[in-house]
């Protein structure tokens, strides 16, 4: 499988993502500079974390207009799988590929810690390999990860099972104390209506090897690989 | 000409910065302080006929300078 990992000025989790895809999962992954206009036949796109364009104006606001994102828009519209991590999630929201927005953490602090994630549905290209009931222990590292969308959008996300991950405590409860940033409904990640584009604030690529204290993040990449290899994604011709 | 743009968080959006500033003002002893909203102010130097400029700035505010999901904007051209 061929992964494309986007690279913007000030992306800083791009190499981590490539490392996991290549060395941990054994797939082909290449970095794609933001000025590229083609995805070069990639099977899936990872929009990695970082501080693209210095987070100027708003997180992700400038990156979404880069040439490579126009190619990502077309790829996503054609059913191609796209996963945004942290700043990548912010970029996908700004680009309109995902609903809502990520705003300043309610604590005003940059939060860098491990959290527990509950996967709400296996029905996506990003969650199909997560065992039922398993909590994922993965790190977060962000200052602007508070998920916001209007009430109507939140209701739609719920009705369509598009909230993929929630911040929960060790017992799996979405408590206020387990919410690191003030996200509505403890939302850590969502997908689009077609279920081929998803974003999450936590970093699965930083928790994909036992050496790093948790390999739970691997399940998210493994889900993506499974979806593509079994062609369960409805690709448009 | 100069476009002066003010971008503020929508009322329904959590504004922890505004809340913190409000609390600080109260702690400093200022009386009658209500809700505080922290936004952004942009000045853009621009040339062209007034109507075109107005249209362009409005579009740029909507598409790029603000995020309609979380922010409101207003501007004036001087």
The shortest CB-CB distance from A148 to any of B13, B20, B64 is to B13
Specify if A44 maps to a domain: yes
Q: Which of A86, A93, A146, A191 is catalytic?
A: A86
Tell me the CATH number at A168: 3.40.50.880
Whole-number pLDDT of residue A234: 56
- Residues in chain A closer than 8 A to B67 (CB atoms): 58, 61, 94, 101
What chain B holds in terms of domains, given with CATH numbers, is 2-77 (3.30.1280.10)
Give mean pLDDT, residues B20-33: 96
Question: Average model confidence (pLDDT) for chain A?
Answer: 96
Q: Nearest C-alpha of chain A: how many angstroms from B78?
A: 23
Specify if A49 maps to a domain: yes
Give mean pLDDT, residues B60-70: 97
Q: Is the pLDDT of residue A72 over 80?
A: yes
Whole-number pLDDT of residue A237: 35
Q: Nearest C-alpha of chain A: how many angstroms from B64?
A: 7
Whole-number pLDDT of residue B14: 84
Question: Average model confidence (pLDDT) for chain B?
Answer: 96
Whole-number pLDDT of residue A30: 96
Specify if A190 maps to a domain: yes
Active site includes A226? Answer: no
Q: Contact A101/B14, CB-based, under 8 Å?
A: no
Specify if A10 maps to a domain: yes
Q: How many domains does chain A have?
A: 1
Place of tokens 């990872």: A46
What pLDDT band is residue A194 in, cutting at 50, 70 and 90?
A: very high
Over residues A18-40, the pLDDT tens digits come to 999 999 999 999 999 999 999 99
The DSSP-derived string for B21-73 is: HHHHHHHTT-SS-------EEEEEE--S-HHHHHHHHHHHIIIIIS-TTTEEE
Specify if A237 maps to a domain: no
Q: Is the pLDDT of residue A235 over 70?
A: no
| Secondary structure, 3-state, A77-129 | HCCCCEEEECHHHHHHHHCCCCCCEEECCCCCCCEEEEEEEEECCCCCCCCCC
Active site includes A86? Answer: yes
Specify if A86 maps to a domain: yes
Q: Is the pLDDT of residue A236 over 70?
A: no
Helix (H) or strand (E) holding A226: helix A218-229
ipTM of this predicted structure: 0.88
Range of the domain at A22: 2-229
Of B47, B50, B37, B46, the residue nearest B6 (C-alpha): B37
Q: Contact A104/B20, CB-based, under 8 Å?
A: no
């Amino acid at each position: 499988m061929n992964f494309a990992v986007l690279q913007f000025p000030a992306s800083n989790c791009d190499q981590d993502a490539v490392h996991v895809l290549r060395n941990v999962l054994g797939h082909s992954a290449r970095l794609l500079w933001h000025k590229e206009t083609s995805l070069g036949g990639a099977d899936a796109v990872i929009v990695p974390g970082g501080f693209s364009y210095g987070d100027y104006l708003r997180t992700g606001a400038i990156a979404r207009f880069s040439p490579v994102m126009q190619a990502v828009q077309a790829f996503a519209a054609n059913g191609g799988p796209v996963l945004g991590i942290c700043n990548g999630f912010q970029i996908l929201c700004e680009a309109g590929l995902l609903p809502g927005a990520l705003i300043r953490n309610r604590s005003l602090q940059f939060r860098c810690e491990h959290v527990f994630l509950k996967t709400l549905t296996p029905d996506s290209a990003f969650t199909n390999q997560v065992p039922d009931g398993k909590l994922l222990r993965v790190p977060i590292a962000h200052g602007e990860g508070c998920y916001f969308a209007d009430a109507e959008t939140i209701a739609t996300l719920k009705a369509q099972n598009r909230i993929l991950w929630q911040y929960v405590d060790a017992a799996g409860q979405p408590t206020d104390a387990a919410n690191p940033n003030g996200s509505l409904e403890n939302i850590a990640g969502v997908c689009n209506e077609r279920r081929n584009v998803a974003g999450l604030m936590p970093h699965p690529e930083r928790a994909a090897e036992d050496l790093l204290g948790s390999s739970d993040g691997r399940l998210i990449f493994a889900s993506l690989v499974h979806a593509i290899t079994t062609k369960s994604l409805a690709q448009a011709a | 000409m100069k476009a002066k743009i003010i971008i503020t968080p929508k009322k329904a959006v959590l504004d922890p910065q505004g809340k913190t500033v409000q609390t600080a003002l109260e702690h400093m002893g200022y009386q009658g302080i209500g809700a505080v909203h922290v936004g952004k102010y942009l000045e853009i130097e621009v040339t062209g006929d007034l109507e075109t400029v107005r249209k362009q700035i409005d579009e740029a505010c909507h598409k790029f300078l603000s995020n309609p999901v979380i922010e409101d904007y207003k501007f004036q051209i001087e």
